[in-house]
Structures are given as C-alpha cells and as structure tokens.
Structure 1
Amino acid sequence: MFTRFRPMTATAMAAILGCSMLATTAPAAAKEKPKKEEAAKGPSLSPSKAFQPVGKQMEDASKKKDAAALQAAVTAGQSVATTNDDKYFLGFYTLQLGILTKNEALQELGLDTALDSGLTPAADQGLYNFYSGRFAYIKKDYPKAQKRLEAAKAAGSAETALPMLLMDTYLSQNQVDQGLAVAKAAIAADQAAGRVPSEELFVRPAKALQAAKRTEDLLDILTLRVRAYPIPQVWRNTLYILLQQSGGDKDLNIDVLRLMRATNSMTERGEYLEYAALATEAGYPGEVVAVVNQGIAKNVFPRTDERFASILSTQTDRAKSDNAGLLADAGKPASAANPKAARATADALVGIGEPAKAIPFYEVIAASDPVAQYRLGVAQALAGQKDAAVASFAKVTGNRARLAQLWTIHVQAPAAAAAPAPATTPAS
C-alpha cells in the first residue's frame, strides 16, 4: 500500500483559500464584466440579517488571526446560520479556524459545510472537494471519499494526488474495474507528459487483480509496469507469474526463462536448476553449460554446488561435440524441407550464443511455425537487430503473444540503470 498523504500545512492551505468572503455585493467594476466570467466566480452571496453581525465578527477575527475570537464567532454562527448563504460563510470561516489552529477536524467540517451549502464557487469546487475527499480517505470513509474525489475530478482538479487517492478509494471498496481505469488513465497521462508514473499506480491494482484471480488483467498492468520500470526486479516479478501460468508447458517455460536470462532477472538457484533441466531434456547442452556458468559468475550458487557440478560434468563434453556440428550446419543453406530439423538447429545455435547464424533457419519456417516466428524475433533481438525483432514479434500469436510483447519492451527499453527503483512488488 502506498504511503498516506500528509496533511497540508496551515500556511499552504491559507495561501490557497484565505481570502475575504463576507462582501455581500459585487464591486461595480465586476458587475460590468461579461456574464460568463461572473458565473465562473460564483453567485453573489447575501447572509441573513440574523447572521450578518456574527459574520462580521468572523471576518474581523480571521483578519486579526485571533483564534479565540474566531472560535467564539463560529460557535455563535452555528446557531444562527439558517440560509445556504449563511452556511457557506460559516463553512468558510470554520475552515479558516481549522487552518489557524491546525485542527483537521475543523478544516473538514468547514469544507463540508461550504460544499453542502451548494454555493461553493465553481473555481473552488475542485479544491474543496479534493481536500474533503482526502480527509475522508485518511479516515477510511471510502464512500464519502469517493463522492468528493469524483466531484473534484469532475470539477477539473489538477491536484497530483487525486488519481492515486481516487484509485485507492475504489480498490478499497473492491471496485476493481473503476480503480484499474483510473490507474490506466493516470499512467497514460504521465507517459504522455514525459513523466515516469508512480509505482503505486501499477502495484496497487496488481494486488487487487491478483486477489481477484484475474490473471490476464494482472499481466496487462504488469506489462505496463515493466515498460515504465524495465529493471531486473520488475522483470522477474512479471515473468515469474508467466512461469506459474504456463500449465507445465516445458517448451514455453524455457522461452520464459530465456527472457529472464536476457533481462538479468534470474536470481534464484531454483530458476537456474529448472532452466538447466529443461535445456538438458530438450537437447541443448551448449545452452545448459552457458546458463550454469552464468549462475556461477553471478554468485547465485558456487562452483562447488554438487548438483550443478554434476550437470557441468555431463554436459560440457557434449556441448563441445555438438558445437562443431552446429557450426558446420550453420554454413549450409537454410531449407524448409525439414521444418523440425531447421527449428532444432536454430534453437541450438541461439543456445550456444550464435543468434545471427540461427536467423536464416527460423526465417524459412516462420510463416508456418508460430514458435519459430517468436524465436526468430528473439534471435534478431539477441543479434542486435532491434527493428527486425520488433517487426517479427508483432506477427506472433497464440500462447507466446505476451512474451513477444515483453520482448518488444525489452528491445525498446532504455538502459536499466536509468530506470528508478520500484518501491514494492505485488507478487514474488
């Protein structure tokens, strides 16, 4: 859950809201302005005769910043405020008293009294509703927070915290679709403005979607997240969920693990062990050796690890033998006559670090083999052919479409070091 927003300081709110409110008629110059401009300022207010004396006391005490006198006037005003005009003035000066005394309960009461009068000027609707909604949110009064924050949004509030608060208000009431819509709109707005969206715009909806077991929607928001935060921790989080959702498809799992490897997001011994086992079973000894040596180099496990030492002892000689044959095959023209052999050759060439040599073999069978189409994009990406890779990934359909989308993000991402670190993760 993201950090709750701190209350606005009295000085800051006073600077925004602190202006004289008791004038009962508009200045002559203002009366001559176009009606449209007058409407934007709000209606002319006329306190009742019973309220006017106490209203004057409120105004005088507020100007002098005399908290005791203002408290007395506000208390007196509560018993004589009968019209909506009275209630609006009472609300405004109750707010000023709350600001002066740093009393948030009075600030909230003042805002609500002013809003409920129906006379809050249009120019202030966004601000008043936002802060009223924010106070309600802090108290976990989510129905009230929703009402006020929606009104603030409708009034055009530009408060930067509004999308986050409204999103979380919806999610806290299990209104997942509404919260997700707010999050996605805020993410799009930030990206259009060249800003990196807050992590909580991704994490909070992701947690709700995960709890609701809406896996595809969860992966959608995580895909947006990894585009904004293309760093190993976020890559691992997203790809780990893909591994869980593969349904035991070994061929698909190895493709997920290959992307984890490419994004430096393999961090656990078990992931290297699974990768090595799958590559061994598929007959890619060169890839097995490369993956195990990578795990050792990254200090994920020591060279003395008995399990991995055993794997190296059985696969290293096989890899040396296979590499010579693979490189010889790579020198021959690619042929679609035997699609299975073409794909196996290409897969093995990628596994030994020769993606450029694998590309022709994938190309001759890609149109008729969806897996080859996907792996063609991978080979092109690993060979540094970014534009070609993006074009190839765009043609991928079926159960690798999500992986193709993620590879495209990886290919197009800036250096990982330039991305800010995320605060939390929705799953591990």
Structure 2
Amino acid sequence: MTFVSKLAMAAVLTLGTTGLVATPAFAQKADKKAKNENGDIKVSPEFRKAAAAAETAIAAAAAATDAKIKADNQALADTSLIAAEGIAKNDDEKYYAAFLRLRLEFARKNDDAQLKALNVLINNPKTPPENVKLYGAVFNYQMGARASQAKQHDEAIKYMLKARELGSTEIDVPIVLANAYSATGKNAEAIVEVDRAITTAKAKSGKAPEAWYQFAIPRVNAVGDRAAMASWLSRFITDYPTLKNWQWGVQVFRSTAPAGANVKSERIDTYRLLRATNALPNRGEYADYAFAAQQFGLPWEALSVIAEGEKAGKLPKGDPDVAKTFKASSAQVSGSGSLEALAKAAKTGEDLSQTADAFLASGNQTRAIELYDQALAKGGVNADEVNLHRGIAYQQLGQKDQARTAFAAVKAGPLANLATLYTTSLDLPPLS
C-alpha cells in the first residue's frame, strides 16, 4: 500500500529539480569535477555518469505508456542508481542519489525504499532547509500510517502529530489520529480530529464521508456532552438526510436522556420529530407512540397516530395492543369535554400550557399557539417546553420562520438539544 498521496509526493519531488538543472545536468562536464569554492555542486565524473543514466531512465519510464517499456526503464534506472549510490562519497552525491531514488521508488510504489530515501534527504546537510520540513512531513506521515496499520497506536499518534507540526495537510492525518486516540481511550481527542477531518473534507469537496460522522457520534455520546451530540447529529442528518439516519439519530438521542429529564417531552416530542420527517419506521414505534400519547393525557394524538399508522400499512388492523390503546384513547376523548371550555377555565400559566398541549395533540395548532403565548405572558411555566411546543405547532402549520424563532427561544438543557434537531428538520423535506 502507498500511504502518501500522489499530491503530497508530487510536491516533494519538485524540491530537488532546481539543483539538478543548475548543475547544469549530469550529462555535462563529464570530464571535470565540479568545484565547491564558488558554490558549485561537487560530484565526481563517475557519479555524474551513473546518475545521468538513472535520471534519463527515470524520465523515460515516466513518459512510457507501454507497461514493458516502463518496467524496463525502471529496471535500468535501478541498476544505474545502485551504481551511483555505491560510489557516492560526499553530501552532494548522496543528496542527488537519494532524490533520484525517491523519484524511482515513488513510481514503483515501494514504500520501504521511499522511507530510506526520505530519511537520507532529511538528514543531508545539502538539503535546502526549507525543504527539510516537507520531506520530514511526508516521512512522518508514512511512518504514522504504518504504525496505524500495525495497531501501534501510540507510535501512530507520535508520527502523525510530528507530520502535522512539519506542515502536512493530508486528510488522513486527523483520521489516523482519531482512530489511534479512540483505540487508546481518548475519545475527546478523537472527536476533535474527526471534526478537523470533516471540516477539511467539506472545504475541499463539499461533503465528508458518512462513516466519519458515524464514528464520531457514539464517541461524543460516550463523553457525555449531550449538546455536542445534538450538534453532531444535526450536522450528520443535514449532510445525509435519510430515513435510516433520522431513525438512528433519534434513537441515539433518546438513549442519552439524563436523570431528571422531562420524560414526557423526551418521549412524545422525539416521536413527533420522527413523524414530522416521515421517519416513523415500523409497527413498534407507531404502537409505542400511540400508547405514550394516551398515557400522557394526549388521547387525540394517540388516535391520529393509530389512524396514520394503519393508513401507512405499519399498524395491522386488529392488532390487540393497539386496539387497547384505541379503546382507552376514545374513552378519554369522550370524557374530556370541550377543549374550549378548558381554555376558558384556565387560570394559571400552567393551566394554559396544558390546555395548549391538548389543542396541539388534537390537531388545532393555531389555537394551541394562542394559548402557549398566553401561558408565556402569564408566567409560572417551563418556558423552554412551551417554546418547543410552539415551534412544533408552527412547523405543523408549515410556518417555518416562526417555528425557527420558537425553537431558538429554547435556551437550556435537554429541550434545547431537542430543539436543535427540530431546527434541522425545518430545512429538510419530509422523507418518503
């Protein structure tokens, strides 16, 4: 496997050409030794002859389109280079031999030989100082990639950090680091590296691989930062808005509900999110959604969810568990009386908020919003919960700007994280 990208190596391979041209080339001055007194490069006629033959063969191999001609020229270059390396005595000769070796072995995809050549170039005093860093970046990158493959994670981290320090911008640097950090239990560091990789990939191509998000999100979850996880889920679903990803994202979000979280909102409002994106997946989710709505005093919503599930073919008619929920919900609706009467009787902000919840569940979003606004004005309510539900009501009415404003008013805690996901859903079409 060739670890270093062609782009990175191409940059490295341009570094030695200035000196070669300035010689002027190995083919000239064959009968003299170059002088060092005036800054000339010092090479012997024997070295010049062997190196010139190698350089010519490398160029011929690079230009060849026929595989056999390419291989023959590479073999010739290797033979000539072995001769040049064998007679190279001073730093100039060792520098050019290593540079030519790097060119040849890159073309032959020989990683071991590339590393040896890079090591010579890094440590040769004739290598221009500004080029040593680039050679070092590529060398450390390759060593880090090898260490990663061998599951030598601490070594991989050391080499990749050094490659970055020396200027490597290879996209695989943060990816190798993320894997190595994760393997050594450093999830926070792994998340930072994946984030760096995604940012770089999106800047270059507009999108990062789906697998990178799927790598990061469970590790964000393990760190316990739910706000960060909601942000990661939002980014993931924005780039990959599929039914499967919405379902997985909501499942991950539910699994992280902290102690003391609003159980009703965590359950009902996550189901509403799946429903809003057409992502309710199966009989189990529909049945549980309907049961939860009935249990939390929202029988109107339970009935509409059952009807929707049956119409979608997700709930089989006559399902015994669903039938129990349907019967209980129908009885609750019959016994609840007029919702308008409840609204007129509401005295406190909490009464208004609960009545608004009932209107929202019954599908009268406009009236629900009026009562939510009154509840906020009266006070004594959980403003974050009210604003979340206001946003849901506006979303169901198709009023996205108002919904966005309401979700933005959810300021803290688990509900703010849920509002982040709802805001994401506003910008994406319902899935089918």
Query: TM-score band (shorter)?
Result: 0.7 to 0.9
- Of 360, 371, 388 in structure 1, the residue corresponding to residue 402 of structure 2 is 388
The aligned residue for residue 38 of structure 1 is: none
Residue 364 of structure 1: SS of its match in structure 2?
helix
The aligned residue for residue 113 of structure 2 is: 106
Structure 1 portions without partners, runs of 5+:
30-43, 419-428
Asked if the contact 2:366/2:393 (under 8 Å) is kept, the reply is yes
The aligned residue for residue 375 of structure 2 is: 365
Matched residues in 1 for 2:255 and 2:14: separation?
A: 59
Asked if the contact 1:393/1:405 (under 8 Å) is kept, the reply is yes
Instruction: Name the CA shift for 1:393/1:45 in 2 (closer, same or farther; >3 Å).
Output: farther
Letter matched to residue 381 of structure 2: D
**Post-superposition CA distance 1:183-236 (Å, at most 9, x none):** 324444555678233323322222444455665544442232223333332222
The aligned residue for residue 193 of structure 2 is: 182
With 394-403 and 269-278 compared, the bigger mean Cα shift is at 269-278
RMSD: 4.1
- Of 69, 78, 83 in structure 2, the residue corresponding to residue 71 of structure 1 is 78
Asked if the contact 1:206/1:218 (under 8 Å) is kept, the reply is yes
* 1:290 Cα offset (Å): 1.3
Residue 428 of structure 2: SS of its match in structure 1?
coil
Instruction: Name the CA shift for 1:343/1:9 in 2 (closer, same or farther; >3 Å).
Output: closer
**Mapped pair 1:251 → 2:264:** yes
- Of 265, 274, 279 in structure 1, the residue corresponding to residue 293 of structure 2 is 279
Matched residues in 1 for 2:222 and 2:55: separation?
A: 52
The aligned residue for residue 226 of structure 1 is: 237
Instruction: Name the CA shift for 1:233/1:103 in 2 (closer, same or farther; >3 Å).
Output: same
Q: TM-score, normalised by structure 1?
A: 0.74
Return the index of the structure with the highest Cα Rg.
2
- Of 293, 309, 329 in structure 2, the residue corresponding to residue 295 of structure 1 is 309
Matched residues in 1 for 2:106 and 2:129: separation?
A: 20
Letter matched to residue 71 of structure 1: D
The count of corresponding residues between Structure 1 and Structure 2 is 394
**Post-superposition CA distance 1:24-50 (Å, at most 9, x none):** 477599xxxxxxxxxxxxxx9946658
Instruction: Name the CA shift for 1:348/1:130 in 2 (closer, same or farther; >3 Å).
Output: farther
**Post-superposition CA distance 1:399-421 (Å, at most 9, x none):** 3110111111112x233669xxx
Matched residues in 2 for 1:372 and 1:403: separation?
A: 13
The aligned residue for residue 51 of structure 2 is: 55
* 1:142 Cα offset (Å): 5.0
Matched residues in 1 for 2:209 and 2:277: separation?
A: 22
Structure 2 portions without partners, runs of 5+:
25-38, 62-72
Letter matched to residue 60 of structure 1: T
Matched residues in 2 for 1:114 and 1:192: separation?
A: 32
**Mapped pair 1:342 → 2:379:** no
**Post-superposition CA distance 1:309-354 (Å, at most 9, x none):** 23223323544665x723x459x67x87322331222111111222
Calculate percent identity across the aligned residue pairs: 22
Instruction: Name the CA shift for 1:26/1:280 in 2 (closer, same or farther; >3 Å).
Output: same
Instruction: Name the CA shift for 1:86/1:291 in 2 (closer, same or farther; >3 Å).
Output: farther
Asked if the contact 1:377/1:388 (under 8 Å) is kept, the reply is yes
The aligned residue for residue 264 of structure 1 is: 278
Instruction: Name the CA shift for 1:59/1:345 in 2 (closer, same or farther; >3 Å).
Output: same
Asked if the contact 1:376/1:392 (under 8 Å) is kept, the reply is yes
Matched residues in 2 for 1:297 and 1:123: separation?
A: 68
* 1:391 Cα offset (Å): 1.7
Asked if the contact 2:134/2:166 (under 8 Å) is kept, the reply is yes
* 1:271 Cα offset (Å): 2.6
With 258-267 and 178-187 compared, the bigger mean Cα shift is at 178-187
**Mapped pair 1:90 → 2:86:** no
Matched residues in 2 for 1:195 and 1:150: separation?
A: 26
Matched residues in 2 for 1:381 and 1:201: separation?
A: 30
**Mapped pair 1:402 → 2:402:** no
* 1:94 Cα offset (Å): 2.3
